[in-house]
A and B are shown apart, each in its own frame.
Chain A
Amino acid sequence: MTSQSPVLETRELTINFGGHYAVNRVSCAFHPGTLTSIVGPNGAGKTTWFNLISGQLKASAGSVLLFGEDITRLPAPARADKGLGRAFQLTNLFPNLTVLENVRLAVAARHRTGYNFWQMVSRRRDIIDHAMQYLEQVQLGKRADSLAAGLPHGDQRKLEVAMLLALEPEVFMFDEPTAGMSVDEVPVILELIAEIKRRQDKVILLVEHKMDVVRSLSDRIVVLHNGELVADGEPAEVIASPVVQEAYLGTPQQAAG
């Protein structure tokens, strides 16, 4: 594809849950400015692969490289610091904090203010304003003061996305960002992802079950099946390939996880 060196790479990445290989020797490299969709049936290992990349799980074998540096042994916070941003498939918020505070924590993480124990949070207007901008982007500005736990499901999904945007990472990892959203909310999120893609300098990984979304957004599609990478290439080509027709499109397409 591009001649640039990859931003992110997994080499023979493997995890073994008591004999069951949820991710099995997956090697793949990602270049800036590309959006790669990861597809595969339920239980294929997509989320697990994400967890190995962003550090929520430790690999049994193989390695993860970010900008050429081996980060396989680093814990999740260190990887986030280095630019791996993650939005979760199962909504994963700070339930009893306000919507704004959820996003503000993400902005503050990027500014590395966490160890400041003397300044009042309210004195950092810049951070709060930033957080507010991300909320506006996902159209949650009006709900800024509600508790995250009180949001309807679709809005929680949007908040999840806003928190990832607020991290301004080098690698965006979206795990079924639109699952459970109503039809009129989906385009908002897809447009935000397309917007990141237009900036041309980030890596975007998208796990998605909706094939029309995958087809229209992706530069590349990677197919996982039983923890193994079974196809990788241009969208049209991959979707047409027999292995996908059989392994993926043959199974029910809609899943919540």
Chain B
Amino acid sequence: MLNTILSGDYPRSRILSVLLVAIFICLALGPFLFSGTRAFTTLGMICIFIVVVASYDVMLGYTHIVSFAHTMFFGIGAYAVAMAIGAMGSSFSAIGLGVLAAVLAATALALLLGMLSLRVKAIFFALVTLAVAFAFMSLVNQLYTITGGEDGLRVRVPRELGPAFRLIESDLYGFSITTFLSGLFTQPWNLGEVIRESVYNVRVNGRVVMYYVCFFFSLGMFLLMLRMMNSPFGRVLQAIRENEFRAEALGYRTVYYRTATVVLAAVVTALAGVLFALFNRYVNPENTLDFELMVFILLMCVIGGMGTMYGAVVGATLFLLAENYLQDLLRVIGGLVDGVPLVSGLVGPERWLLWFGVLFVLSVYFFPKGMVGQLRVWADARRRRRETG
């Protein structure tokens, strides 16, 4: 059963398994474990970006195709649904049309990119994707009558996915892990009180419904891609990564496989873009098409571990947590060292990007194969030690 779900591709490291189960539980019960809109938004973004990064990993990690057009496909999905809703009003048929348009546009563009430039050198493909992505971004900026330009588009989701809708009339209860943990540390003698304070009400509205759409989409897409990477198709991709010349000599038409990979990644990301638009309810070039976002996706993939699939889960989660909460952490630390010259200047919340960079350098230094790759190396070494010793 589990073997079929995970396609026989286990985490193969105890620490990684624990980490993945923890992430799974936190995302599955998200709205019932973390209170507040900020946590809610972060959870949704993690779900969506797991899919975005996993599909990027299919290209980068499994096939060694370097593309800078991933955000373009993400943006295509987001803008397709935003524009469909803008034109047709907020209805599920508008969303359906948006999805259809997103899939068609992503497929067509990816096919074009693949056929035009996958036959030539990898660096050339990378440059072409970069150029196309920039062209697309300036196009979106210029066609402001339909795209809203830099101001972007608000996405009026159907009532069933909005805050006014109630799936269940009465509220449910949630248990805030963060309140509980901070209470446990600051006043452990007051356990009863801490537990009581941790309980909060959860209104099961359309936003929560939307979150679970994202969650199950993320879970389904991740498992689908995990399966694909452990299928004969996925193994051919790895063969192409390792030695394309030899893969051809064995009879694999690598251009087809590479094109299929680019199309697959494009369509999956476009779908993630659709969900982003519906979840975030606001789309602009900065949050969907920006080059900074492209670099972030690349970093999430590398930090998590390329060519592992699970790396996308770990990478996206850690990265988005750091991006959203590093400032708060720095503020707390800054409070502790307030008044100490030099040090207090270094840990202010406005220095978050600096620490972000430091964390990235450290992670690449200590985890050259990415988190997942490195955890597996350690697990293998441990296993070998136990066998010999």
User: Which A residues contact B (CB, under 8 angstroms)?
Assistant: 54, 56, 75-78, 80-81, 86, 88, 92-97, 101, 104-106, 108-110, 113-122, 124, 163, 167
Contact = CB atoms under 8 A, between A and B. Distances in A.
Interface string B227-256: 110111111101100110111111111100
B227 A163 contact: no
B378 to A, nearest CB: 17
Interface in B138-192: none
Interface residues of B, number: 27
B242 A124 contact: no
A121 B230 contact: yes
Contacts of A97: 238-239, 242
Q: Name, among B7, B230, B242, the residue most crowded by chain A CB atoms within 10 Å (CB to CB).
A: B242
Contacts of A77: 248-254
Contacts of B335: none
B325 interface: no
A112 to B, nearest CB: 8
B242 A114 contact: no
B368 interface: no
Given A92-B245, A96-B242, A106 B250 contact: yes
Contacts of B246: 88, 92-94
Contact of B248 (A76, A110, A116, A167): A76
Contacts of B245: 56, 92
A75 B8 CA distance: 35
Given A116-B232, A117-B231, A120-B7, A95 B248 contact: no
24 contacts: A75-B248, A76-B248, A76-B249, A77-B250, A77-B251, A78-B253, A92-B243, A92-B246, A92-B249, A93-B242, A94-B243, A95-B242, A108-B236, A114-B252, A114-B257, A116-B233, A117-B227, A117-B228, A117-B233, A119-B231, A120-B4, A120-B227, A121-B231, A121-B235
Contact of B236 (A75, A114, A120, A122): A114
A122 B5 CA distance: 14
Contacts of B227: 117-118, 120
B243 A113 contact: no
Interface of B: 4, 7-8, 227-228, 230-236, 238-239, 242-243, 245-254, 257
Contact of B249 (A56, A117, A120): A56
Contacts of A124: 232
Given A118-B227, A122-B8, A109 B233 contact: no
A118 B231 contact: yes
B262 to A, nearest CB: 15
Given A116-B233, A121-B235, A94 B242 contact: yes
Given A77-B254, A97-B242, A119 B249 contact: no
B228 A93 contact: no
A152 B290 CA distance: 48
Contacts of A92: 243, 245-246, 249
A146 to B, nearest CB: 13
Nearest to B232: A113
B238 to A, nearest CB: 6
Given A93-B242, A114-B233, A122-B230, 13 more contacts: A54-B249, A77-B251, A77-B252, A92-B245, A94-B239, A97-B239, A105-B247, A108-B235, A117-B234, A118-B227, A119-B231, A120-B230, A124-B232
A116 B227 CA distance: 11
B228 A120 contact: no
A78 B254 CA distance: 11
A82 to B, nearest CB: 9
B8 A109 contact: no
B223 to A, nearest CB: 12
